[in-house]
């Protein structure tokens, strides 16, 4: 009897929460970002540091029951470190070009369609990216199927991207244009395991075809004494098969408090293998102040085309530090609290900091300040 009364009480409480959420189905997000990458290692003859400043706006509107509209745009400025001086021992280059400081635009729009009484939700979307030497456009098609009274969610997303690239190279030459296609399939399963536990398993496959080099990357060729003599272009295959498995678990022992563990394993046919693990913890205190911290540790075994100090050029060769082997530590924290909190609207401030440190002496630090307005 008591259990039944408690059940009815909880049901009424949840109905009230759901009704409250229904009263605030629309959302606007405004974010500003800063990220700085420091280069104290990595490629010894190439500047790999940069600074990234961005502003992002996002709008979610419930147009009518079962139909939601999403629009977001991000405008960013990327300032790259100046090129390093070419050693006088290099015989085929006196200067190198780095990617110019540039402005980028990302835009994304999508619909979320859930017919009345249906367990299916459909999500078509469009994507566009613009920068002076790179334009990208794409389509996203996805669905989610609820199963087992909402305990399970099967999701499927297919994305295709087409990139058009202007080929400005590290030696200052302009070598026409190139294209690249990317196909991405993501299958995800979310499961409410118990009233305290939630899990996710995702499988992702990506196929890329086209120009996959970074034009500003060059590879120094050394002599037997370890002195750099030549700079040559990075050269990589024109296709890449990439696969990834992600697992996520989250546990809550009290409302507003949770701990999670994410793990992923990645491999591709360039022989890059990468594994990562990320525990996180969230708690709530005061007047709905939420605080989450996380720490990500990952290790990568580099591509078979990566050469640290090559003495001869090869058909496929790269010195890109991101395709090499490394271990990385990435901590972060976010705090959010309501500025305005009412039954019909809430304005919440979110502050996030994060960073990374790699054992090849590349590091970075970033911060985000954002407002979320729901009504």
Partner 1 sequence: MRRGPTACRRFGVVGVVVALCGLMLGGGCTGTQYYERERLQDPAMQFDTDAGFTFIRHKTEAAREGSFGGYGAAAAGGCACQ
CB of 260 to partner 1, least distance (A): 7
Number of Cβ within 10 Å of residue 236's Cβ equals 21
Nearer to partner 1, 73 or 310 (CB): 73
Does 52 engage in binding with partner 1 (CB under 8 A)?
yes
Nearer to partner 1, 186 or 221 (CB): 186
Quickly count helices (H) and strands (E) in the chain.
1, 18
Of 115-154, binders to partner 1 (CB under 8 A) are 127, 129, 133-134, 136, 138, 140, 147-152, 154
Angstrom distance (rounded) from CA 253 to CA 7: 19
In 3D space, the residue among 319, 306, 317, 311 whose CA is nearest the CA of residue 96 turns out to be: 319
Does 295 engage in binding with partner 1 (CB under 8 A)?
no
Angstrom distance (rounded) from CA 169 to CA 109: 33
Does 74 engage in binding with partner 1 (CB under 8 A)?
yes
Q: Which stretch binds partner 1 (CB under 8 A): 109-117, 219-227, 271-279, 307-315?
A: 271-279
CB of 224 to partner 1, least distance (A): 32
Task: Return the CA Rg of the chain.
Answer: 24
Q: Are the C-beta atoms of 71 and 59 separated by less than 8 Å?
A: yes
Does 82 engage in binding with partner 1 (CB under 8 A)?
no
Angstrom distance (rounded) from CA 24 to CA 209: 43
Site string for partner 1, 96-115 (x = CB under 8 A): --------x-x---------
Residue found by looking up tokens 């070009």 in the block: 97
Cβ neighbors of 161 (< 8 A, separation 6 or more) are: 127, 136, 137, 138, 180, 181, 182, 184
Of 302-331, binders to partner 1 (CB under 8 A) are 322, 328, 330
CB of 227 to partner 1, least distance (A): 29
Cβ neighbors of 319 (< 8 A, separation 6 or more) are: 43, 46, 217, 218, 219, 220, 234, 306, 307, 308, 310
Q: Which of 56, 114, 229, 329 binds partner 1 (CB under 8 A)?
A: 56
Structure tokens at 164: 């058009």
Of 2-31, binders to partner 1 (CB under 8 A) are 7, 10-11, 13-14, 17, 29, 31
Nearer to partner 1, 231 or 266 (CB): 266
Q: Are the C-beta atoms of 99 and 80 separated by less than 8 Å?
A: yes
Site string for partner 1, 180-209 (x = CB under 8 A): --x-x-xxxx-xxxxxx-x-xxxxx-x-x-
Which residues lie across from 153 on neighbouring strands?
146, 190
Query: Total number of residues binding partner 1 (CB under 8 A)?
Result: 106
Nearer to partner 1, 223 or 288 (CB): 288
Of 226-255, binders to partner 1 (CB under 8 A) are 242-246, 248, 250, 252, 254-255
Does 165 engage in binding with partner 1 (CB under 8 A)?
yes
Does 339 engage in binding with partner 1 (CB under 8 A)?
no
């Amino acid at each position: 009897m008591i259990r039944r009364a408690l059940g009815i009480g909880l049901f009424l409480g949840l109905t009230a929460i759901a009704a409250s959420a229904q009263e605030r189905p629309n959302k606007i997000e405004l974010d500003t970002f800063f990220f700085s990458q420091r280069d104290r290692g990595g490629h010894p003859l190439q500047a790999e540091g940069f600074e990234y400043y961005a502003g992002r706006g996002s709008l979610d509107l419930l147009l009518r029951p079962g139909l939601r509209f999403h629009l977001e745009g991000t405008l960013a400025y990327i300032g790259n470190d100046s090129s390093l001086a070419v050693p006088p021992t290099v015989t085929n280059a006196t200067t190198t070009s780095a990617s110019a400081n540039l402005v980028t635009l990302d835009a994304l729009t999508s619909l979320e369609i859930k017919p009345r009484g249906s367990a299916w939700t459909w999500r078509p979307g469009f994507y566009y990216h613009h920068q002076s030497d790179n334009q990208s456009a794409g389509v996203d098609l996805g669905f989610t199927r609820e199963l087992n009274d909402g305990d399970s969610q099967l999701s499927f997303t297919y994305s295709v991207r087409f990139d058009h690239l202007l080929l400005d190279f590290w030696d200052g030459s302009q070598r026409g244009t190139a294209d690249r296609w990317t196909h991405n399939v993501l299958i995800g399963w979310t499961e409410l395991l118990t009233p305290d536990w939630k899990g996710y398993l995702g499988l992702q496959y990506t196929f890329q075809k086209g120009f996959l080099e970074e034009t500003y990357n060059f590879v120094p060729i050394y002599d037997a004494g370890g002195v750099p003599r030549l700079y040559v272009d990075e050269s990589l295959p024109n296709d890449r098969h990439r696969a990834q498995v992600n697992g996520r678990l989250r546990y809550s022992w009290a409302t507003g408090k949770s701990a999670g563990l994410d793990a992923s394993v990645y491999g591709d046919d360039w022989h890059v293998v990468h594994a990562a693990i990320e525990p996180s913890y969230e708690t709530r205190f005061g007047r709905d102040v939420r605080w989450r911290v996380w720490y990500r540790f990952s290790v990568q075994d580099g591509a078979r085309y990566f050469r640290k100090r090559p003495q001869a050029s090869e058909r496929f060769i790269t010195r890109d530090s991101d395709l090499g082997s490394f271990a990385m530590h990435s901590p972060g924290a976010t705090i959010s609290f309501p500025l305005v909190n009412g039954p019909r609207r809430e304005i919440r401030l979110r502050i996030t900091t994060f960073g990374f440190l790699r054992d090849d002496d590349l590091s970075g630090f970033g911060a985000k300040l954002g407002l979320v307005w729901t009504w």
